[in-house]
Structure 1
Amino acid sequence: MNHSAASPSEPAATTRRTLIVVLTAVAMLAFAANSLLARLAFQTSAIDAAGFTAIRIIAGALTLLAIARLQRQPLALPRGAPYSAALLFVYAAAFSFAYRDIGTGAGALVLFASAQLVMIGYGLVKGERASVPGLLLALGGLAAFLLPSASSPPLGAALLMALAGCAWGGFSLLGRTAGPPVINTAASFLLAVPLALALLLLQRDALVFDPLGAAYAVVSGSITSALGYAVWYWVRSRLSAIGAGAVQLSVPVIGAVMGLLFLGERMSAWSVGAGLATLAGVAWVMLSAKKAAPR
């Protein structure tokens, strides 16, 4: 009798799990596509990095506002919104300038490894415990990946992408505050618009408008960023913290495959090995992480 009572819920649970898996994959593809779109813009069009950044942020803000309207959620500025907006702007600007000179997969690796290490470091400061060998492996792998060589990405671009990753990690940590995530993200995008416009002013002598590059920026801002974030926030609330972090480690791999398929980009055996060591170390730390003991 217990079996017959429980059976009607089993198809619904299976459907729910399948939906979570599918939407998780969609979100990871969107994150990786952001890297590909930036590389495509700078490889196949003449658009400048500041213009790409501004168009992406404005398109994201408009899209998130439209989503909020559809959900009939009133727009409000959450506490800490200016800090989130500043971090979002730093991420987007450094991301764009870095992708002028770094490959799709390599950029995604530095970006997500840096972001995860920032969040891991925050947890350690707050008293969480994690594998020290895993942390050393992640840091060593990232250092080896950035080590100057004939096949490594340009150091300046890699450092810019590391800055973007650190800003993204900080933005993600601030995004854990209470409140509707779409509204919080929309507020951050809106407040980042003046910063993007200020960047345009500073870069006015280097601005180059290109319709194709602008189209890539609009798609990046409205679809793979705004809609991708909206999907990810829905998924993230249904995954464990470890699962939510671990699944993001797939993005550099997806990015590398996209770069190979669409731009013919390749990574050296050294870079692949160092990248895998970095991802393995981050995964090790995340899987071994334990919450701080109550005081």
Structure 2
Amino acid sequence: MRLFLLTALTMTAFAANSILNRLAVDSGTIDPASFAVLRVAAGALVLALLVRWRGRSLPLLVPRRIIGAGSLVLYMIGFSAAYLTLDAGLGALILFGVVQITIFVLASLRGAPPQLRQIVGAAIAFGGLAWVLSPSETVVVDPAGVAFMAAAGVGWAVYTLAGRSEPDALAGTAANFCMALPPVLLAPLILGGEPVVSLTGAAFAVLSGAVTSGLGYALWYSVVGRFSPAMAAIVQLAAPVIALIAGVLLLGEVASLRLVAGAVLVLGGIALSVRMTPESNTTK
């Protein structure tokens, strides 16, 4: 039960990131590049202070930081750049589709292939997500946006797998954010456009970085090692569904029959995948 509650809290934090990004960037109160920079900076500051407050040191110059911080940079910049041209629903489909495929492939190469039940559950869950998020009208897909989001998906998949062997979830996450900050500062040069930073947009970015990203990612690193790689990919499909439900409750979006049915499919697919043998839960 404790693992379930912690995982649910983590997915809620992930969903909150989508809501905060939508509130800030879609409203024009901040540009995507500035949002990414403030998000990482706030996460790095809060996490570093928490680590120091607990009397620990930041493991900055260790080999694992190349993978952890590098994949975080790829995710942050790719995610911000993709949403300059992609519809939110289509972007989520590409992101989580690439995350699933990347984790399944990398886990198989490392000798931990997904079980048949996990594959079926993942297919059901992703099918439900695709049904909910698929655009109802013809949408022009920008190849650059797809490429950026695919890169973000690969980055997040690698970041997730790297967390399974992180000895200290909080310190490791803090170090990843600190080491990721200098490259992310280049985001405005990569994404271009005029910088727009209002007090409201900055507040949303800081909240996303300090709480739902920084603390949320630390919490994810604390629980992800208890899942098999395949399950770590599958449970994340709950995040966009939570974001959609939050959009209905907080942003006044319409709760359609498709949303309800799709949510049932996503959660049902996850539930099917969770029913695994004890050995698969401890595979690393």
TM tier, smaller: 0.7 to 0.9
Tell me how far apart the structure 1 counterparts of residues 16 and 86 of structure 2 sit (CA, whole Å).
15
1:82 corresponds in structure 2 to: 66
2:207 corresponds in structure 1 to: 219
Candidates 43, 57, 60, aligned match of 2:43 = 60
> How far did 1:90 drift?
1.5
Structure 1: which 5+ runs fail to align?
Answer: 1-16
In structure 2, give the amino acid aligned to 1:195: P
In structure 2, give the amino acid aligned to 1:34: N
Tell me how far apart the structure 1 counterparts of residues 22 and 49 of structure 2 sit (CA, whole Å).
27
> C-alpha deviations, 1:87-137, integer Å up to 9, x for none?
111211222233455566654454334323211111122233432973994
1:155 corresponds in structure 2 to: 141
Candidates 160, 171, 180, aligned match of 1:183 = 171
**Mapped contact 2:160–2:221 kept (Cα < 8 A):** no
Candidates 85, 105, 108, aligned match of 1:124 = 108
> C-alpha deviations, 1:9-47, integer Å up to 9, x for none?
xxxxxxxx4x54443332221110011111111222331
Tell me how far apart the structure 1 counterparts of residues 219 and 133 of structure 2 sit (CA, whole Å).
36
Q: Number of residues paired by the alignment?
A: 273
Tell me how far apart the structure 2 counterparts of residues 268 and 103 of structure 1 sit (CA, whole Å).
19
In structure 2, give the amino acid aligned to 1:211: L
**Mapped contact 2:65–2:175 kept (Cα < 8 A):** yes
Identity fraction in percent: 35
> How far did 1:72 drift?
1.1
**What's the TM-score once normalised by structure 2's chain length?**
0.76
> C-alpha deviations, 1:130-154, integer Å up to 9, x for none?
3297399479949976999653665
Change (3 A) 1:144 1:247: closer
Q: Which has the larger radius of gyration?
A: 1
1:170 lines up with 2:158 in the alignment: yes
**Mapped contact 1:58–1:189 kept (Cα < 8 A):** yes
**Mapped contact 1:35–1:108 kept (Cα < 8 A):** no
**What's the TM-score once normalised by structure 1's chain length?**
0.74
In structure 1, give the amino acid aligned to 2:104: I
Q: Which moved more, 1:109-118 or 1:275-284?
A: 275-284
Q: CA RMSD in A?
A: 3.8
> How far did 1:186 drift?
1.4
> How far did 1:175 drift?
2.4
1:192 lines up with 2:175 in the alignment: no
1:260 lines up with 2:243 in the alignment: no
